[in-house]
Structure 1
């Protein structure tokens, strides 16, 4: 099982975003940081190159970076892009998350509670 799985719909959206930001050969970084109501929150950003401590994956032509310290928290996570009449957005399904805040922007795992902040 991959640390992070990027669906075809998500990969297509990431490719468009990379092109729009003049980074057609860039990497998508998926990360976890402390914060939010429940303690951990996801981050996604564009990077020019991998860092020394990164795991590199590739899905549908999109190169994805995950810092090795985030691997246990993100293992098996699926990132998708969904559209509706109200627009579209990325959805993240993490099998390791045991609790999430009401707004859905933060989570915690059995082993990592993170650093909750006031919402």
Structure 2
């Protein structure tokens, strides 16, 4: 599994982890949502489960569940600020389409 984290995303993730030292890492995955099928999930991982894979990406522990693995493999995670808004941005080579608002994506 390959996940890339840009320096901006790395800095933001480290800020979250510094505020929650008991966290096992950053949980990255997908859930069914939106009009296109899947939406990304980025949150603190409280623990690493039996169905999870833990990888370290540039010093950041990233936890991905087994169902999300094939859908996020190869994804580049960035963090961008635009005016007052700030969010993680995903560049996923597995995505074959996205909804008009960009909140969800499809895979073939």
How far has the Cα of 1:97 moved from its partner? 0.6
1:23 and 1:48 in contact (8 A); partners too: no
Structure 2 segments unaligned to the other structure (5+ residues): none
- Extract unaligned runs of 5+ from structure 1: 111-119
Task: Report if the CA contact (8 A) 2:24-2:48 is conserved.
Answer: no
The match for 1:14 is 13
Root mean square deviation of aligned Cα? 1.7
Structure 1 stretches of at least 4 aligned residues deviating more than 6 Å after TM superposition: none
Q: Is the 8 A contact 1:77 1:93 kept in 2?
A: yes
Q: Distance in 1 between matches of 2:81 and 2:31?
A: 26
C-alpha separation in 1, matches of 2:50 and 2:24: 16
Aligned to 1:35: 33
Instruction: Tell me the TM-score normalised to structure 1 length.
Output: 0.81
Tell me the alpha carbon deviations over residues 59-112 of structure 1, each in whole angstroms, 9 at most, x when there is no partner.
2221001112211111101101123444432110111111100110000100xx
Instruction: Return the alpha-carbon distance in structure 2 between the equivalents of residues 24 and 78 of structure 1.
Output: 26
Pairs within 5 Å for 1:98-109: 98-109=96-107
TM-score, normalisation: structure 2: 0.88
